[in-house]
Amino acid sequence: MPELPEVEVVRAGLAPAVTGARVVAVTVHDERALTRHPGSCADFEARLTGRTLVGAARRGKFLWLPLATESGPGESLIGHLGMSGQMLLRESGAPAERHERIRLDIAHPLHGELAVVFSDQRTFGSLAIDTDVPTPDHAPGGWGTDAAAVPSQVAHIARDPLDSAFDDARWRALIARKDSAIKRVLLDQTVASGIGNIYADESLWAARIHPETPARALSKRAATLLLTEVRLVLEKALVEGGTSFDAQYVNVNGQAGYFAHSLNAYGRTGLPCARCGRPIRRDPFMNRSSHFCSSCQRIRRLS
């Protein structure tokens, strides 16, 4: 599943092409791509056609394109990529993508006519038109927007660790009250958003913390170190364009990310740990897997 770096790479790629663009036409090829939309396919097409996109924003793994609104509550075109969703920029009239679900034909005052294509092989992703709600802390909703609002479907999602309004002290206080495994807490999008299986494993390896360590067993120093490593891992992944293991994750131009070459734990089962040379283990975890070094990452118990 695309995590924060992958979705941010897509957002950054979309922003210059969609900001100020008018939606000329909307074509829904598959209604399964509208599972998050409260209305019908016809409603989605009618409400979006003719609207002006005013930017591209992101919080955690959620992406949204705010819509110009003359009166009433703000609205946004919200997208979640699910397991295999892609947002691609194509020339106007370009042939349909293999797993194309929705196409927006747009006209930009500088870039001319373009197509924004939502493609999704596994059909777990979705687009929707959603009403914006104020942020409780009155800070901008996320990356790419100055508005203190988020789509209602994103309101329950916590800020991500790279957000300037992320509250470090609150994060430490939350994990200090949780008996759950620290990896489970890292994956909890209501605690901190944008971290998935790959970057949880990488951050825990970097901080030398066993994924099954109870969250509240971490000292304040260990928790602070972990948050630092989370940010470093996410920032490095952003620079390298995200992580691509197959053709599912690409940026808006269809190019793969290169962070897979920098991984120290995830996907390296049986290979030597970069610190100690012991083999990386892979254990079942929440219908997924955890990758870690059992020598460098010793489990900590509650006292």
What CA dihedral angle connects 63, 68, 73 and 74, to 10 degrees? 10
What CA dihedral angle connects 211, 213, 219 and 224, to 10 degrees? 10
| Amino acid present at 96 | A
Residue 122, annotated as binding a ligand: yes
Residue 59, annotated as binding a ligand: no
Residue matched to tokens 């996410």: 234
Residue 156, annotated as binding a ligand: no
Respond yes or no: is residue 70 known to be catalytic: no
Residue 260 CA to residue 278 CA, distance in Å, equals 20
3-state SS of the chain?
CCCHHHHHHHHHHHHHHHCCCEEEEEEECCHHHHCCCCCCHHHHHHHHCCCEECCCEEECCEEEEEECCCCCCCEEEEEECCCCEEEEEEECCCCCCCCEEEEEEEEECCCEEEEEEEEECCCCCEEEEEEEEECCCCCCCCECCCCCEEEHHHCCCCCCCCCCCCCHHHHHHHHCCCCCEHHHHHHCCCCCCCCCHHHHHHHHHHHCCCCCCEHHHCCHHHHHHHHHHHHHHHHHHHHCCCCCCCCCCCCCCCCCCCHHHHCCCCCCECCECCCCCCEEEEEEECCEEEEECCCCCCCCCCC
Q: What angle do CA 60, 66, 67 make, to 5 degrees?
A: 160
Choice among 32, 220, 288, 298 that is catalytic: 288
Residue matched to tokens 């909703």: 141
Respond yes or no: is residue 3 known to be catalytic: yes
Respond yes or no: is residue 183 known to be catalytic: no
Choice among 11, 51, 58, 61 that is catalytic: 61
Active-site amino acid positions: 2-3, 61, 288
Output the known binding site for DNA.
Answer: 99, 122, 178
